[in-house]
Amino acid sequence: MVDAFRRDRVGIASFCVVGFFVVLALAAPLITALYGKNPTEHYGQNGAGLLSPEGLPLLPNGGISAEHWFGIEPGLGRDVLAQLVYGVRTSLLIAGTSAAVVAVIGVVVGVAVGYLSGFVDRAFTFVCNVLLAFPALLFLITLGPVVQTRFVGPGESEPAWMQFLVLVLVFSVFGWVPLAMVLRTVVRSLREREFVEAARALGASRRHIVFRELLPNVWAPVLVHLTLAVPAMVTTEAALSFLGVGVNEPVPDWGRMISRGADVFYDDPTYLVFPGVSLLLFVLAFNLLGDAVRDALDPHTVR
């Protein structure tokens, strides 16, 4: 499989891009330290000559300069590059954690339901139908404020981890369904395969069958699902920020940058383009990686 992947040049390239973003996320503090800017300082407001009285960057191209490589944010005048780098962190942290939770729930439920069938299966189908028909985005919009007022005292700001947690929770609630459904189908067909019967004929226990025979066969669809789910979560998270219910200030966030960028697009398109194109690249790379992983794992692929 690794060999198959290695032969895939686009796959390698996308893997590198994804790796690059992961490194950015991990090394964000280091990068900004080297770069000499931090994502929360209001450079434009605290230094003269950067923002107009209306809050737009004075320099052309969104205030790109030797000081601020990607320009500064309209309004507060924060450094765009530093914000972008920390924004990857936000996106990846939420999407990565959600993906992990989704993987665990999806695998456990999907494999269990696929193997057990019967009543469990009917219950599962019902839950899936409910979750599929539920307007998830609306749910997401509403849940943030609910959690905030119910669990955060008025005198405290909602801690960043709690916002993250809410997002992770909601992504997980809706995210495990497709994975579990896929795995259920996979396991159902695996269950009918002779090697499972062979294991039974060898006297293998149920546990042995589930863990040693079935599980090694489902990690391929899980991996494919997750590499495609991560960009989906990143964009949904950005969409929520766009609708104004994502991660709050001052945690840097791409969705919020895009949303703000869309507002100032007419005067300062640069500010939309950096986060917009970054997100596009990020999602594109992840989608490509997902395809590459799928191809590499799928023995039937003829390329």
Partner 1 sequence: MPAITLRTAAVPALATAAALLLCSCSAGAGTDAGQGRNSTAAKSGRRLTTTLGTAKDSQGPAPEVPGARRGGTVTVANQADFPHLDPQKIYAGERYSTSLLWGRQLTQYQITDGRPRLVGDLATDTGTSSDGGRTWTYHLKDGIAWEDGKPVTAQQVKYGIERTFAPGFEIGPVYWPQWLTGSEDRTEAVKKYGGPKKDGDLKAIETPDDKTVVFHFPQPQSDVPYMAAQSSSSPVREDKDTGTGYDVKPFATGPYRIVEHKQNQSLSLERNPHWKPETDSIRHAYPDRFEFTFGKPALNTAQEVFNGQGTGATTLTTKDELPPELISTVERDPAKRQLAVSGSRGAYTSDLYIRNDWVTDPEVRKAIHYLFPREQARQVLGGRYAGDLATTLSSPAVVGWKKYDLYPVAPTGDIAKAKEHLARAKSKVTKLTYAYPTESPQDDQVAQVLVDAFGKAGIELVVKGLQPAAFYDMVFGADNPYDLFLSTNSVDWPTPSTLLPLSYESHLDAVSNPIHYGNPRVDRELARIAKIGDAQQKAEELISLEETVMKDVPVVPFLYKSVTQFRGKDIGGAAIHPIYGVPALADVYVKNS
Partner 2 sequence: MSDRPALSVRDLAVTFRTARGPVSAVRDVSFDMAPGEVLGLVGESGSGKSTIGLAALALHDPARTRVQGAVRLGGDGLDLVGASESALKKVRGARVAMVFQDALDALSPYHTIGAQIAEAYRVHHPRAGRGEAKERAAAMLERVGIPAARASDHPHHLSGGMRQRVVIAMALINDPAVLIADEPTTALDARVQHQVLDLIGELRSEAGTAMLLITHDVGVVARTCDRMLVMRDGEALEEGPTERLLTSPAHPYTKALIGAAPTLDTVPGSRLPTVDAPEPRQRTEARLRAAPAPGVLAEVRDLRVDHPGRRRARPHPAVKGVSLHVAHGETLGLVGESGSGKSTIARALTGLRRPTSGEVRFDGRDVSGAATDTRLRRELSRDVQLVFQDPYASLNPRHTVEQIVTTPLRIHTDLDRSERGRRAAELLEQVGLSPSHLSRHPHEFSGGQRQRIGIARALAVRPRLVIADEPVSALDVSVQAQVLNLLMDLREELGLSLLFISHDLAVVRHFCDRIAVLKKGELVEVGPRDAVFDSPAAPYTRELLAAFPHHLPPGGGRPQHVAPVG
Partner 3 sequence: MTRYLLKRVAQAVAVLLAISATAFGLFYAAPSDPARIACGPKCDSAQLAAVRTSMGLDQPIVSQFTDYVGGIVTGRTIADVDGTPIPCPAPCLGYSYTLHQPVLAAIEDRLPVTVSIAVGALAVILVLGVGSGLAAALRRGRPTDRLLSGFNLLGASVQIYFLGYVLQFLLVYSTGLFAPPRYVPFADGPGQWALGLVLPWLVLGFVNAAVYARLTRSQMLETMHHGYVRTARAKGLGTLRSHLKYTARGAAGPLVQLLGLEVGALLGGAFITETVFGLGGVGKLAVDAVTGNDLPTVVGTVLVAAFFVVLFVALADLVVAWLDPRVRLA
Instruction: Catalog residues that contact partner 1 under the rule CB under 8 A.
Output: 8, 10-11, 13-14, 40, 42, 45-46, 51-63, 74-76, 145, 149, 154-158, 244, 248-250, 256, 259-260, 263-270, 272-273, 276-277, 280-281, 284, 288, 291-292, 294-295, 298, 300-303
Q: How far apart are CA 171 and CA 137, in angstroms?
A: 10
7 contributes a contact to partner 3 by CB under 8 A: no
287 binds partner 3, rule: CB under 8 A:
yes
Per-residue mark of binding to partner 3, 114-143 (x: CB under 8 A): ------------x--xx-xxxx-xxx-xxx
Nearer to partner 3, 110 or 231 (CB): 231
Cα–Cα dist 198/191, whole Å: 11
**Angstrom distance (rounded) from CA 261 to CA 4:** 41
Closest CB 170 distance from partner 2, rounded Å: 33
Instruction: For partner 2, give the closer residue by CB, 116 or 165.
Output: 116
Least distance between partner 2 and beta carbon 202 (Å): 5
Are 157 and 196 spatial neighbours (Cβ–Cβ below 8 Å)? no
Stretch that binds partner 3, among 74-82, 85-93, 197-205, 234-242 (CB under 8 A): 234-242
Comparing CB distances to partner 2, the nearer of 4 and 169 is 4
CA distance 74 to 78: 8
d(CA 178, CA 10): 27
> What are the C-alpha distances in Å from 293 to residues 11, 234, 301?
8, 19, 11
Q: How far is the CB of 292 from partner 1 (least distance, A)?
A: 6
Using the rule CB under 8 A, is 118 a contact of partner 2?
Answer: no
Q: Using the CB atoms, write b or e for 218-244: b if 16+ within 10 Å.
A: bebbbbbbbbbbbbbbbbbbbbbbbee
Burial (CB count within 10 angstroms: exposed 0-12, middle 13-18, buried 19+), residue 143 = middle
How does 174-205 read in b/e, with b if 16+ C-beta sit within 10 Å?
bbbbbbbbbbbebbeebbeeeebeebeeeeee
Question: Which residues of this protein are in contact with partner 3, per CB under 8 A?
Answer: 126, 129-130, 132-135, 137-139, 141-143, 145-146, 148-150, 231, 235, 238-239, 242-243, 258-259, 262, 265-266, 269, 272, 276, 279-280, 283-284, 287-288
Q: Given the rule CB under 8 A, which residues bind partner 2? A: 193-195, 197-206, 208, 212-213, 216-217, 299, 302-303
